Structure 1
Amino acid sequence: MQRVESVLSKLHCYAGSFDGKPSCKEASPKWLYRKANWTWKLILLVALGLSGMYICILGVEKRVMYQKAILSMASGNKVGTTRPCSELNLVDGLFLHHPQPRTFDRKECSCLPVHNFVIFSMQRSGSGWFETLLNSHPNISSHGEVFSVDGRRESASTITRTLDTLYNLDWISSASKNECTAAVGLKWMLNQGVMEYKKEIADYLKDNSVSVIFLFRKNILRRYVSILANSFDRVAKQLNGTHLAHVHSKEEAEVLEAYKPVVNLTSLIPYLERVEEIIDDACSSFKETRHMIFFYEDLVVNPRKELRKAQKFLGVNPLKLESKHVKIHTRPLHGQIENWDDLNEYLKGTRYEIFLKGKDYG
């Protein structure tokens, strides 16, 4: 029996498929090798699967870190800051950010995206009126002439630090909407450091996806007359000893409108030429940014149409906007200038003659 078992142990036996008798054949060493090969193949397959899973997980983690970095750069925060939202939206070419203010909690509006903007303009071009109209929208915060303070524009670095604070919703003013701000910006006069640091500012605006609104006057002669009248009141203080650049009643407007300045003819044309140069330079310097140009005269003639365009440009729902500002100079130009006859004769035949004729607006 032991001899039979010894022989059988050297054979590969299986039950016959017909007669039930064992059928045996000599075990081949190749079968043993084949069994070993399948074992190693299984181990290799498992190892490859685990390696693939690890690579996928690592790739996802890197992608998440990259997305966080993009979000942080877009909102001006350091990489690694906890984000209330995980996505940077691009809608119709409009970049929407998710700032995380340090001074307050956005609460239920933490995932409401915010659009950054700036209004570039010049004094006495209707920018004060335009900004109060925008600020009557419940989701727009425009913080006024932030850079009227010299210390905030003494260098490119102080300018960018100020802008970082403002676009992170940490700038506090009467225009602050706090939690549910959907568009945040400021009014920036071209003589408040814009042209001195135009390259650095243009780079900042592009890097931070800030949209630009240009607001100018077509009739720059009217603007000049308004500047002369405002400069006079700055000294005369005609309203009960107080200087007001903007008024909220017809009575106040009538007091200021009564003054008619004398225009210096010698310096007038060089002044108008310089204003045109500044406007052209500004438009050229910031042409690579997302921008739109508005004119004060168009706003006066058709405020509803122009304000709707502005709101759509800022990515907010268009609403009826209101302002308490009252227009000061409503008379034709010949009724606002003391030496009108001399001025009229002086500008005849020049390209600025057009400012003397035609409708006041439109």
Structure 2
Amino acid sequence: MQRSGSGWFETLLNSHSNVSSNGEIFSVFDRRKNISSIINTLDKVYNLDWFTSASKNECSAAVGLKWMLNQGLMEYHEEIVEYFKRRGFSAIFLFRRNLLRRLVSVLANSYDRHAKLLNGTHKAHVHSHTEAETLSSYKPVINSTSLISDLKEVEVTANKALKYFNSTRHIILYYEDLLMNRKKLNDVLDFLRLPQLEPRSRQVKIHTGSLSEHINNWDDINRTLNGTVYESFLRDYKR
């Protein structure tokens, strides 16, 4: 799911000498325009015929890709599940526990696609604290009227994805858990049947500290979520 830490997580995995992840290859529409194009693309990855700047040709243990839920995965889930089972694919589902933080990231990233705050260049991920501070200077205004229904919609989508792929070999991870307990990465390496190494990423987190520092209409959002099932999103970790 977008803005759930998947870029950071992929760089962590790719830092392992036995992992080669090919990036978000289904961001290109032609590769996902129908199930035939999806299967053709997956076959190239499976047969090690997919070459990108992110791939490591010498890797032979775990090869994969990053796939967002809105890139054909849900639309053609029945055929994809059958393919996963037939080919022996494993899936790692990465979500965020705090959907309000995710929303801030989504809105800020969408804004920067047009504003291009970093010297006229849009960057979804950064590698310096200076760049992170520049991007986090934008504080989105969140629609408080639709906020609760928007959060529910994200939950429904995530639950639907897990239901669709329940019969596949998979593991479920949360971005916050990986941040707070790096030993969670050991579970991932065990799941991938890889030797234990210390993965590293050069990416720098953009929105650190309290959420109140990153939302323009914080008082409105605070009033909207207080007393609801989403109240905990207002007061979470501050890393």
Q: Secondary structure at the match of 2:92?
A: strand
Indicate the residue corresponding to 1:258 in structure 2.
137
Which of 161, 166, 177 is the equivalent residue of 1:287?
A: 166
Indicate the residue corresponding to 1:341 in structure 2.
219
Which of 254, 257, 271 is the equivalent residue of 2:150?
A: 271
Is residue 2:88 matched to residue 1:209? yes
Give the Å deviation of 1:358.
4.2
Which of 138, 150, 154 is the equivalent residue of 2:33?
A: 154
Q: Residues 162-181 of structure 1 correspond to what in structure 2 (within 5 A)?
A: 162-181=41-60
Partner Cα separation in structure 2 for residue 154 and residue 145 of structure 1? 15
Q: Please, what TM-score do these two structures have when normalized by structure 2?
A: 0.97
Contact 2:208 2:238 in 1 (8 A): no
Aligned length in residues: 239
Matched to 1:315, the amino acid is R
Which of 190, 193, 196 is the equivalent residue of 2:72?
A: 193
Partner Cα separation in structure 2 for residue 310 and residue 194 of structure 1? 22
Partner Cα separation in structure 2 for residue 332 and residue 139 of structure 1? 37
Query: Structure 1 unaligned runs (5+)?
Result: 1-121
Give the Å deviation of 1:357.
2.4
Indicate the residue corresponding to 1:315 in structure 2.
193
Give the Å deviation of 1:266.
1.5
Contact 2:141 2:216 in 1 (8 A): yes
Partner Cα separation in structure 2 for residue 259 and residue 206 of structure 1? 44
Distance change in 2, residues 1:287/1:241 (3 Å): same
Give the Å deviation of 1:359.
3.4
Q: Residues 129-144 of structure 1 correspond to what in structure 2 (within 5 A)?
A: 129-144=8-23
Which of 229, 232, 237 is the equivalent residue of 1:354?
A: 232
* Structure exhibiting the larger radius of gyration computed from Cα positions: 1
The structure where strand makes up a greater share of residues is 1
Partner Cα separation in structure 1 for residue 67 and residue 206 of structure 2? 22
Structure ranking higher on relative contact order (CA contacts 8 Å, 6+ apart)? 2
Runs of 4+ aligned residues of structure 1 deviating over 6 Å after TM superposition are none
Deviation string for 1:278-301 (max 9, x for gaps)? 000000000101111110001111
Partner Cα separation in structure 2 for residue 358 and residue 329 of structure 1? 13
Deviation string for 1:129-156 (max 9, x for gaps)? 0000111111111111110000001111
Q: Secondary structure at the match of 1:346?
A: helix
Indicate the residue corresponding to 1:297 in structure 2.
176
Deviation string for 1:249-273 (max 9, x for gaps)? 0110111111111111122111111
Partner Cα separation in structure 2 for residue 138 and residue 357 of structure 1? 38
Indicate the residue corresponding to 2:202 in structure 1.
324
Partner Cα separation in structure 2 for residue 155 and residue 297 of structure 1? 34
